[in-house]
Structure 1
Amino acid sequence: MADVRLYDALKANIVVDGRTIQGFQDGDMFSYTYKEEKVKTSVDAQGNPAIAINNNHLATVTINLTGNSVDHKYLNNIANANKQVTLTITSEFEKVSGNQAFIVKVPDGAFGKDTPKRSYTFEVLDMRVEAL
């Protein structure tokens, strides 16, 4: 029988410039994605393939907060200052990190009967992902 690893959202954290972010909206707390594939392939007219290692480490990280999160103001101040920050995501299964990150999109806003949602989008220039 295979061992099953148990995920616990309480053990998943995101740290921006040394501060652990809190106050997430329902659903995904934060997410990340690389901007390009790790390898690039092509095929010439005669069907001969070519492959190249892509050394691009650009990535996007999105943090989804509630509008009343204690860290909404913190991230908003970073965005307004165009400040470069470090960013680290940790869980029991992965470590994602970048030493050069900028908020490139401040949240869209809406107000209604539910708690407002605010999503901050970071561009990470040097992201690394390590499975643990």
Structure 2
Amino acid sequence: MLEARIRNTSLRDKIITAEQAASLIQDGMVVGMSGFTRAGDAKAVPVAMAARAATDPFKITLITGASLGHDVDKLLTEAHVLSRRMPFQVDRTLRAAINRGEVMFIDQHLSETVEQLRSNQIGPIDYAVVEALAITESGG
């Protein structure tokens, strides 16, 4: 199955588990995550991050292209992984944590985030977690 999904053979030896990927993310890092609701958000690594935080607490700044599915923001909030979140969210658990001052939140138009990243007003992003269906022969 992996051969069909990862068609660039030079990338196959880079496959690691969600738990291994989560262990790369350290306290204070900036993490970019794919998503525009549940359809495109990362599924496995955020769960592994939350599980790791139960025994090895850490906090990150999480930047996304839009909202994540409710379960990812809720899971990371309940695990106390988030120190900052931007630019958009719709989860009530995260919203409550923001209102209590537990998570800093920047509410801005989605188009502003990419410009701020490109002009070095934010960042750099230490790791990006991207939900992908396949990797083509050219790596795209």
User: TM-score band (shorter)?
Assistant: under 0.3
Larger radius of gyration: 1
Question: When the two structures are superposed, what TM-score results if normalisation uses the length of structure 2?
Answer: 0.24
Question: When the two structures are superposed, what TM-score results if normalisation uses the length of structure 1?
Answer: 0.24
Bigger relative contact order, structure 1 or 2 (CA pairs below 8 A, ≥6 apart): 2
Which structure dedicates a bigger proportion of its chain to helix? 2
